[in-house]
Amino acid sequence: MYWGDIVELTKIPVLPKFRGSGEKGVNREPLDEKTFKQMIRAMNLKVTEQRMAILQALHCGRAHVTAQEVYELIGAKDPDIGFATVYRFLRTLTEHSFVTEVRMGGLPARYELTPKAHHDHLTCIQCGKICEFENVEIEKLQERVANQFGFALTSHVLELYGVCSDCQRRKG
Amino acid sequence: MYWGDIVELTKIPVLPKFRGSGEKGVNREPLDEKTFKQMIRAMNLKVTEQRMAILQALHCGRAHVTAQEVYELIGAKDPDIGFATVYRFLRTLTEHSFVTEVRMGGLPARYELTPKAHHDHLTCIQCGKICEFENVEIEKLQERVANQFGFALTSHVLELYGVCSDCQRRKG
DNA sequence: TTGCATGCAAACGGTTTGCAAAACC
DNA sequence: GGTTTTGCAAACCGTTTGCATGCAA
């Protein structure tokens, strides 16, 4: 299985929220200008137009954006911004855990403002749709496995891949 | 969390096998020259010295090797092999699921001969030690989550990160 | 005013590709 | 002899970096 060829992340259409037994919907808290400034200051950095723009882009855009997309989103309004600034700030944000980096295959990294509630991803290998979910039972089991190995668990990455109902219908 | 900075895969010391309730040790079947030829023929490719060498390198080397390492492993004995050949064949092997590609952060991809028994990874963020495990309960729950979203699950990636017992002791 | 932040362009590193020569059947 | 396969080198692409200029504090 070589995801680089199969998954076309540029096609992500929606980010459906799921509500059902065992899982709970992912809630994204509203973020405003003030919050962004706080985030920047918390990292001992200066509040600049560019940094605010990057955070806005992360917030307004699709949940999972590439550095390139952030650059273009900003460039539409404010043409004076460079790659380097975007990459540099995204990296800093990631290092401070304000942003979460997701990499799949050899594709460009995707970023999202770190959600308060942790969640994992379920990706359709046909159309690239990403669903977010959280499952407490799985997390508990992960903890148990780690403990059995004598590990203190710090984090995890769980990515499920499959064919979504739409794509199943389209084929069958 | 930015794994690119934290995990140093070159330091992987061992691949401990775990035996305990709920999990079972990962068994790696012995692979010989004959098996390799079968694999190559199964892909409708010709058996060449280079391809055999690449498979040998994957088999003899550490469980998770980079393309670069494969290239160097072979280069030690048979200097006449190029990057391109290694990359091309690794890609083909991956596409045919004979080899599994693991990417972490922005680091070079690592490859392993696809084990008969599926397993996931538990990685120490201090020393880079990788433990392999399999947990049927987790897999069942994954299936359930996918079904709740209407997905037909095809595969998954589960990577746990933590601090191993040795590193905990070393610090505390 | 002083040092951090920026934009530019060049460098980087892993991976892929085009192509002519070599190996295979 | 026609088709693979290979090695080389150049291209590629996402990302990082060096440096002179610009701007927040």
Tens-place pLDDT, residues A68-98: 999 988 876 666 788 999 999 999 999 998 9
In this structure, is residue A145 part of a structural domain?
Answer: no
The predicted structure's pLDDT at residue B102: 81
CB atoms within 10 A of CB B40: 22
The whole-angstrom distance between residue B130's C-alpha and the CA centroid of its chain comes to: 10
How many structural domains is chain A composed of? 1
In this structure, is residue B160 part of a structural domain?
Answer: no
Q: Give residue B31's pLDDT band: very low, low, confident or very high (50, 70, 90).
A: low
Q: Give residue B85's pLDDT band: very low, low, confident or very high (50, 70, 90).
A: very high
In this structure, is residue B70 part of a structural domain?
Answer: yes
In this structure, is residue A2 part of a structural domain?
Answer: no
Six-digit token pair at B63? 């469980």
In this structure, is residue A4 part of a structural domain?
Answer: no
pTM over 0.75: no
Residue A62, classed as helix, strand or coil, is coil
Look at B157 and A153 and tell me if their CB atoms are within 8 Å: no
In this structure, is residue B110 part of a structural domain?
Answer: yes
The candidate with the shortest Cα–Cα distance to A138, out of A158, A115, A163, is: A158
**Nucleotide of closest approach to B80 (CA, C1'):** D7
The predicted structure's pLDDT at residue A62: 67
The predicted structure's pLDDT at residue A78: 66
Residue numbers in A 4-33, CB below 7 Å of strand D: none
Strand A130-133 and strand A120-124: the pairing is antiparallel
Q: Assess A131–B contact: CB distance below 8 Å, yes or no.
A: yes
A4 has pLDDT over 70: no
Q: Give residue B115's pLDDT band: very low, low, confident or very high (50, 70, 90).
A: confident
CATH number, domain of B63, equals 1.10.10.10
C-alpha distance from residue A66 to each of A73, A86, A133, A142, B22 (Å): 10, 10, 21, 29, 39
The whole-angstrom distance between residue B138's C-alpha and the CA centroid of its chain comes to: 20
Residues A64/A109, Cβ–Cβ less than 8 Å: no
Alpha carbons within 13 angstroms on the beta-carbon side of residue B145 total 33
Rg of chain B's alpha carbons, rounded to an integer? 18
Q: What average pLDDT does chain A have? A: 77
Q: Give residue A166's pLDDT band: very low, low, confident or very high (50, 70, 90).
A: confident
Of B20 and B162, the structure prediction assigns the larger pLDDT to: B162
The predicted structure's pLDDT at residue B22: 30
Q: Determine whether the distance from the CB of B70 to the nearest atom of strand D is below 7 Å.
A: no
A24 has pLDDT over 70: no
pLDDT digits (tens, 9 = 90+) for B122-162: 888 777 777 888 889 999 999 999 999 999 998 888 989 88
Give me the mean pLDDT over the B29-54 stretch. 86
pLDDT digits (tens, 9 = 90+) for A150-163: 999 988 889 898 88
In this structure, is residue B42 part of a structural domain?
Answer: yes
B45 secondary structure, DSSP code: -
**Nucleotide of closest approach to A48 (CA, C1'):** D24
Question: What chain B residue is nearest to A132 in terms of C-alpha separation?
Answer: B149
A110 has pLDDT over 80: yes
Taken in order B2, B6, B8, B9, the sign of the CA dihedral is negative
B25 has pLDDT over 70: no
Q: Give residue A31's pLDDT band: very low, low, confident or very high (50, 70, 90).
A: low
In this structure, is residue B87 part of a structural domain?
Answer: yes
> Across-strand partners of B151?
none
The whole-angstrom distance between residue B165's C-alpha and the CA centroid of its chain comes to: 23
Contacts of B124 in chain A (CB under 8 A): 151
Domain range for A57 is: 27-116
Largest CA distance in chain A: 55
Q: Give residue A53's pLDDT band: very low, low, confident or very high (50, 70, 90).
A: very high
The whole-angstrom distance between residue A64's C-alpha and the CA centroid of its chain comes to: 4
Of A11 and B58, the structure prediction assigns the larger pLDDT to: B58
